[in-house]
């Protein structure tokens, strides 16, 4: 299984699939048949032997998906078997985003997608996502529409509010080219019912890396370096790894790797405010943790120390141990 397939499966497992209760039995049967066709086409999009096979599969998938979504209340159908297609839904369930990618060759990769709105009568309202990344010179300071979309596979959506308006922050992955990958943080809003990607929603005060306002945060890095980019519910912040050039060539993004430091973004008054260091606890000199040997000076087992190491039977399981591996950490 290739790395992209593993990544997409992790997105699928984290998606909200609690749908189905609004669909009639007859509609569900039709959707199940279409899902079978979609599953086969989705597999060929990733695994076709040549570009012609992948193009054909992509066209078939797109046509079949639109026909499936035209079925009343299809918004509530989970498409569980489409594990290679990324699907994200905000908490308010106002829309769903499908994204996938088509590899033309090692250096040309196209993302495709669509936003399905949750309409009151169950009819279809769909916004196609048209990848125009190659035509946009500065993707970090460009606000786009669905028809001039900066392509990404979205694996997380964060719903926030400010000044009576909803803001949907998307975390996305781009299998950019043969030497680098990218991850994005961008805010999706709706203006007059139309989707708008990006905007002045980032605050990097006193930050030399972003001296000017940006409309989208872009992490570009060495192929397969896999820096973390995720949302921590407990801390209520976006966390991402700081990147440095492993060769000291800051202009060459394909040399960037994570250095072990973590930065963050905290939502405040309608903006993601930069946190320079998320984990900044420093152990004072002379207060370093020391090992507690179980054996005493005579080589006998010190049962008092052994009992201190026994877990508390009444203690709750650690939340950290229950956290799944973030989708962005491949």
- Tokens read off for 215: 């409309």
Looking at residues 241-266, what average pLDDT do you find?
Answer: 95
Q: Are 119 and 159 found together in one domain?
A: no
Report CA dihedral (222, 227, 229, 232) to the nearest 10 degrees: 180
- Tokens read off for 20: 């189905």
* Contact status, residue 248 vs residue 206, Cβ threshold 8 Å: no
DSSP 8-state symbol, 172 = E
Q: Are 152 and 112 found together in one domain?
A: no
* Domain tally, the chain: 2
State the pLDDT at residue 118: 98
- Reported as a single tens digit per residue, the pLDDT across 85-135 is 999 999 999 999 999 999 998 889 999 999 999 999 999 999 999 999 999
DSSP 8-state symbol, 125 = -
Looking at residues 195-220, what average pLDDT do you find?
Answer: 87
CA distances from residue 330 to 20, 219, 223, 239 in whole angstroms, order as listed: 30, 15, 12, 15
Give the end of a domain, one of 130, 154, 186: 130
Q: Is the pLDDT of residue 136 over 80?
A: yes
Q: Are 114 and 73 found together in one domain?
A: yes
Looking at residues 43-51, what average pLDDT do you find?
Answer: 95
Range of the domain at 235: 140-290
Q: Are 121 and 167 found together in one domain?
A: no
* Contact status, residue 145 vs residue 194, Cβ threshold 8 Å: yes
Looking at residues 225-238, what average pLDDT do you find?
Answer: 96
Give the separation between CA 206 and CA 280, rounded to whole angstroms. Answer: 18
Of 109, 94, 64, the closest CA to residue 82 belongs to: 64
State the pLDDT at residue 216: 97
| Strands across the sheet containing 95-105 | 86-88, 95-105, 108-117, 126-130
Q: Is the pLDDT of residue 45 over 70?
A: yes
CA triplet 98, 100, 106: central angle to 5 degrees? Answer: 165
**Percentage, residues of the chain above pLDDT 90:** 73
Q: Are 73 and 155 found together in one domain?
A: no
State the pLDDT at residue 307: 38
**321-328 contacts, C-beta under 8 A, 24 or more apart:** 324/13, 324/14, 325/10, 326/228, 326/229, 326/230, 327/7, 327/10, 327/11, 327/14, 327/155, 327/156, 327/230, 328/155, 328/156, 328/171, 328/173, 328/183, 328/228, 328/229, 328/230
State the pLDDT at residue 209: 64
- Which stretch of 148-157, 214-223, 259-268, 285-294 has the lowest confidence by average pLDDT? 285-294
Q: How confident is the model at residue 15 (pLDDT cuts 50, 70, 90)?
A: very low
State the pLDDT at residue 283: 41
Q: Are 120 and 169 found together in one domain?
A: no
State the pLDDT at residue 106: 81
Looking at residues 148-156, what average pLDDT do you find?
Answer: 97
Calculate the average pLDDT of the chain: 84
Q: Are 237 and 118 found together in one domain?
A: no
Q: How confident is the model at residue 318 (pLDDT cuts 50, 70, 90)?
A: very low
Q: How confident is the model at residue 211 (pLDDT cuts 50, 70, 90)?
A: low
Question: What are phi and psi for residue 203, nearest 5 degrees?
Answer: -125, 110
Give the end of a domain, one of 65, 99, 130: 130
Looking at residues 190-211, what average pLDDT do you find?
Answer: 87
- Max avg pLDDT among 201-205, 286-290, 322-326: 201-205
Q: Are 89 and 184 found together in one domain?
A: no
């Amino acid at each position: 299984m290739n790395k992209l397939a593993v990544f997409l499966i992790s997105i699928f497992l984290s998606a909200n699939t609690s749908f189905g209760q609004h669909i009639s039995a007859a509609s569900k049967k039709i959707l199940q048949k279409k899902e079978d066709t979609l599953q086969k086409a989705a597999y060929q999009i990733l695994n076709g032997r040549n570009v012609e096979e992948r193009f054909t599969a992509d066209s078939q998938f797109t046509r079949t998906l639109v026909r499936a979504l035209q079925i009343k209340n299809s918004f509530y159908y989970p498409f569980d078997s489409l594990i290679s297609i990324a699907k994200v839904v905000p908490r308010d369930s106002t829309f769903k985003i499908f994204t996938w990618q088509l590899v033309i060759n090692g250096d040309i990769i196209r993302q495709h997608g669509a936003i399905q709105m949750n309409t009151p009568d169950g009819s279809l309202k769909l916004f196609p996502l048209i990848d125009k990344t190659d035509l946009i010179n500065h993707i970090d300071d460009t606000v786009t529409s669905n028809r001039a979309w900066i392509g990404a596979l979205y694996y997380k959506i964060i719903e926030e509010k400010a000044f009576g308006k909803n803001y949907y922050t998307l975390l996305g992955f781009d299998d950019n080219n043969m030497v680098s990958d990218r991850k994005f943080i961008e805010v999706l809003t709706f203006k007059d019912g139309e989707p708008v990607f990006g905007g002045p929603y980032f605050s990097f005060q006193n930050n030399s890396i972003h001296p000017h306002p940006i409309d989208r945060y872009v992490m570009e890095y060495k192929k397969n370096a896999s820096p973390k980019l995720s949302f921590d519910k407990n801390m209520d912040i976006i966390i991402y790894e700081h990147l440095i050039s492993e060769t000291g060539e800051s202009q060459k993004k394909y040399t960037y790797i994570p250095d072990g430091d973590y930065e963050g973004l905290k939502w405040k008054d309608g903006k993601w405010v930069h946190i320079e260091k998320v984990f900044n606890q420093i152990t004072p000199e002379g207060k370093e943790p020391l090992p507690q040997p179980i054996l005493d000076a005579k080589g006998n087992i010190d049962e008092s120390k052994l009992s201190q190491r026994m877990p508390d039977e009444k203690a709750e399981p650690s939340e950290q141990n229950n956290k799944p591996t973030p989708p962005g950490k491949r």
